Amino acid sequence: MRQFLTCVTVAAAMALLAVPVAMAQNGPLRITITEGVIEPIPYAVPSFVAESAAAQSYADQLSRVVAEDLTGTGLFREIPRDAHISNITSFQSPVQFPDWKAINAQALITGAVDVNGSGQLVVKFRVYDVFAGTELGDGMQFAGTADGVRRMAHKVADQVYARITGESGYFDSRVVFVSETGPKDQRAKRLAIMDYDGSNLQYLTDSRSIVLAPRFSPTGDRVLYTSYETGEPRVHVLNVGDVQSRILPTQPGMMSFAPRFAPDGRNVVYSVTQGANTDIFRMDIGSGATSQLTTAPSIETGPSYSPDGSRLVFESDRSGTQQLYVMSANGGEPQRISFGAGRYGTPVWSPRGDLIAFTKQNAGRFHIGVMRVDGSEERLLTASFLDEGPTWAANGRVLMFMRETQGAQGASSLYSVDISGRNLKRVPTPQGASDPSWGPLQ
Amino acid sequence: MKHISKALMLMAALAVSACTNPNRFPGDGSAGGYDATAGQGGIIPGSANDPRSSAYFQQNVGDRVLFAVDTSSLSPEAQATLDGQAQWLMANADYLAVIEGHADEQGTREYNLALGARRANSVMEYLIARGIPASRLKFVSYGKERPIEICSEEACYAKNRRAVTIISAGGLTS
């Protein structure tokens, strides 16, 4: 699987750029933590051209954010500006390809920014295949308010990523998560939302009640989460626009948790505990109508829909330990899909439909891993004292999760990793952070 | 308000306030059964030698039972503690109890919520089997959210895998 993806990426890059790119190493497929290396594509992104004095302060920021996005994927390597031979001083002037070839820039991104009559930023960009001496796709233009300057840069980077890899991007997206402060035995938790790269953080709740595991709606307009506001954990739904939340009309006095939206944005699946038993339910949050989807006397939780809404993956300890199961979205007999050593939980279906990401606990370590929907080709991407709760980037190529460090001073933070196991990195947050949910491409 | 009694609302409120009260688990030397200030035969109401106090319940009866990894079954030791809790609750019929279930950090968050519920439910069922009316009992799980010991070793984990019975007076008369 890793090889396949690597080859797709490389092949796409070769086809489009028509230049040789180092091939990834070959090796047998196996359940292992992959640390494969692929040669990133060198590119140059000179400072965008300011087309008026008012646009001056945005020009450099735009190109910097584009570079952070692209280099941050691990698939691209920026050629530093002090190595550039040509300067781009006009968006319209012809590109001096030999100057970019000489520094081995395989891709060149040029851009310009202006402020229009109504005070909006107008951003234009072009992508060039340097070695073919041609433009890659057409130039594009975005307009937006000045406080959305980073978003406009993310949109440029999403386009560049899509043109070079043939996959949609994920940079113009947000993450909702739990911000954490205080020691382990008095931890205060608040819901927070930020851009995928940690910018523009805002808090959505205060820390009076414990809040857990927020999950975005398919369009990112609402967030489901679990709160102890009423004394026991109950599922709430929050409107991102006006930050108003309401409790879902699950049975009062009973624990409900582990919510997730269906792809239709109207149905919600979640767990309810009755006595020792925890089962999965579904609610139409428009009408409040509920149905029970599992009836086993064991713990069934962590449900996640397939992108077409026809199936659910969830975890159950009906076999004696936590394992992953797939069933029809209307319930019925589930099929177990996890059979490796250890315990499997928190399954999430890829937005591409091809993979299920999970948390695996084995021999005192935690892993984030992926497997095919039928349970085959399991691959572990990370290992640590405590890695938990993967969430997919919109393009199904990157996962974000929480990592908690060991011991009395242990704290949690967010990390992301490619589904190849490459490019593991911390997502910057000002305080502790857990339970990320990665929203759609905006 | 429609389906939930005032008493249950009160219990929920108590459960929340209890979990944020750092003095809930006495750990210093003054918490022993003997209290010098109690004087000769005097009982200070609410102190650990007032047999109707929650301090007495915590220290002399035992307010918590511990569990093995990923289980909710009650050890003989746990059963002995719960026998004492049942006796106490029988003798103090105006008290309500919320049983809080907890898990250690070695597990995923939502599974641990369900596991904590299973543990608290084990305790509740045991107390009911010993004659305590279900109407006086309620449980809630905190999963791995509220450890009392913070090291990442079995010595701490063993104390965190617990169900704690929190009593509150006057619930039936409110």
pLDDT surpassing 60 at residue A186: yes
Q: What is the pLDDT of residue B43?
A: 76
Average pLDDT over residues B104-108: 96
Average pLDDT over residues A32-58: 81
Measure B174 CA to nearest chain A CA, in Å.
19
The encoded tokens of residue B29 equal 């030397």
Task: Among A180, A215, A224, A232, pick the best mutation site for testing chain B contact (most B Cβ within 10 A).
Answer: A232
User: Is A322 within 8 Å of B111 when comparing Cβ atoms?
Assistant: yes
Question: What stretches of A275-405 adopt beta strand conformation (E)?
Answer: 277-284, 290-292, 300-305, 311-316, 323-328, 331-336, 343-349, 355-362, 365-372, 379-380, 387-392, 398-404
The encoded tokens of residue A81 equal 């500006």
CATH number attached to the domain at B54-174:
3.30.1330.60
Mean residue pLDDT across chain A: 91
Q: How many angstroms separate the CA atoms of A316 and A49, rounded?
A: 56
The encoded tokens of residue A233 equal 């954990």
pLDDT surpassing 50 at residue B137: yes
Chain B residues touching A210 at Cβ < 8 A: 142, 145
Q: Determine which of A68-72, A297-301, B33-37, B152-156 has the lowest per-residue pLDDT on average.
A: B33-37
Chain B residues touching A322 at Cβ < 8 A: 108, 111
Phi-psi region of A396 (alpha: psi -120 to 50; beta: other; left: phi over 0): left
Q: Determine which of A142-146, A235-239, B124-128, B144-148 has the lowest per-residue pLDDT on average.
A: A142-146
What is the per-residue pLDDT across B56-70, written as a single tens digit (0 to 9) for each? Answer: 999 999 999 999 999
Look at residues B157, B168, B114 and name the one whose alpha carbon lies nearest to residue A232: B114
Q: Which sequence spans correspond to the domains of chain A?
A: 39-165, 174-438
What is the per-residue pLDDT across A344-396, written as a single tens digit (0 to 9) for each? Answer: 999 999 999 999 999 999 999 999 999 999 999 999 999 999 999 999 999 99
Q: What is the pLDDT of residue B9?
A: 43
| Domain A174-438 bears CATH identifier 2.120.10.30 | yes
pLDDT surpassing 90 at residue A307: yes
In this complex, the residue of B109, B146, B152 whose CB is nearest that of residue A410 is B152
What is the per-residue pLDDT across B6-58, written as a single tens digit (0 to 9) for each? Answer: 444 444 444 433 333 333 333 333 333 333 344 445 678 878 888 888 899 99
A132 touches chain B (CB under 8 A): no
In 10 A of CB A289, how many CB atoms? 11
A247 touches chain B (CB under 8 A): no
Predicted interface score ipTM higher than 0.85:
yes
Average pLDDT over residues A5-19: 33
Measure B141 CA to nearest chain A CA, in Å.
7
User: Helices (H), strands (E): how many in chain A?
Assistant: 4, 31
The tokens 């895998």 sit on which residue?
A: B161
Q: Determine which of A180-184, B45-49, B154-158 has the lowest per-residue pLDDT on average.
A: B45-49
CB contact at 8 A, A386 and A413: no
In this complex, the residue of A275, A278, A388 whose CB is nearest that of residue B109 is A388
If you ran DSSP here, which 8-state letter would residue A64 be given? H
Q: What is the pLDDT of residue B111?
A: 98
Order of all β-strands in the sheet with A355-362: A343-349, A355-362, A365-372, A379-380
If you ran DSSP here, which 8-state letter would residue A105 be given? -
Q: What is the pLDDT of residue B170?
A: 66
User: Is A404 within 8 Å of B105 when comparing Cβ atoms?
Assistant: yes
Highest mean pLDDT among A21-30, A105-114, B162-171: A105-114
pLDDT surpassing 70 at residue B165: yes
CATH class of A39-165: alpha beta
Look at residues B56, B143, B133 and name the one whose alpha carbon lies nearest to residue A278: B143
Name the residue of chain A whose CA is nearest to B8's CA.
A253
Mean residue pLDDT across chain B: 81
Q: What is the pLDDT of residue B70?
A: 95
User: Is A213 within 8 Å of B109 when comparing Cβ atoms?
Assistant: yes
With b for 16 or more beta-carbon neighbours within 10 A and e for fewer, the A347-367 pattern comes to bbbbbeeebbbbbbbeeeebb
Average pLDDT over residues A77-92: 95
If you ran DSSP here, which 8-state letter would residue A384 be given? B
What is the per-residue pLDDT across A426-437, written as a single tens digit (0 to 9) for each? Answer: 999 999 999 999
User: Is A210 within 8 Å of B8 when comparing Cβ atoms?
Assistant: no
In this complex, the residue of B8, B15, B147 whose CB is nearest that of residue A184 is B147
CB contact at 8 A, A240 and A193: yes
Q: How many angstroms separate the CA atoms of B124 and B107, rounded?
A: 23
What is the per-residue pLDDT across A193-222, written as a single tens digit (0 to 9) for each? Answer: 999 999 999 999 999 999 999 999 999 999
Q: What is the pLDDT of residue A325?
A: 98
Average pLDDT over residues A119-143: 94
What is the per-residue pLDDT across A280-300, written as a single tens digit (0 to 9) for each? Answer: 999 999 999 999 999 999 999
pLDDT band at A23 (very low <50, low <70, confident <90, very high): very low
CB contact at 8 A, A320 and A336: no
Phi-psi region of A253 (alpha: psi -120 to 50; beta: other; left: phi over 0): left
pLDDT surpassing 50 at residue A94: yes
Q: Which sequence spans correspond to the domains of chain B?
A: 54-174
In this complex, the residue of A187, A209, A302 whose CB is nearest that of residue B110 is A302
Q: What is the pLDDT of residue B42?
A: 67
Look at residues B67, B149, B141 and name the one whose alpha carbon lies nearest to residue B101: B141
Q: How many angstroms separate the CA atoms of A292 and A303, rounded?
A: 13
Chain B residues touching A406 at Cβ < 8 A: 152
Residues 6+ apart with CB under 8 A from A94: none
Q: How many angstroms separate the CA atoms of B100 and B93, rounded?
A: 20
Q: How many angstroms separate the CA atoms of A395 and A419, rounded?
A: 11
Listing DSSP states for B102-115 in one string gives: E--SSS-HHHHHHH
Q: How many angstroms separate the CA atoms of B100 and B103, rounded?
A: 10
Q: What is the pLDDT of residue B27?
A: 36
CA angle B69, A402, A63 (to 5 degrees): 170
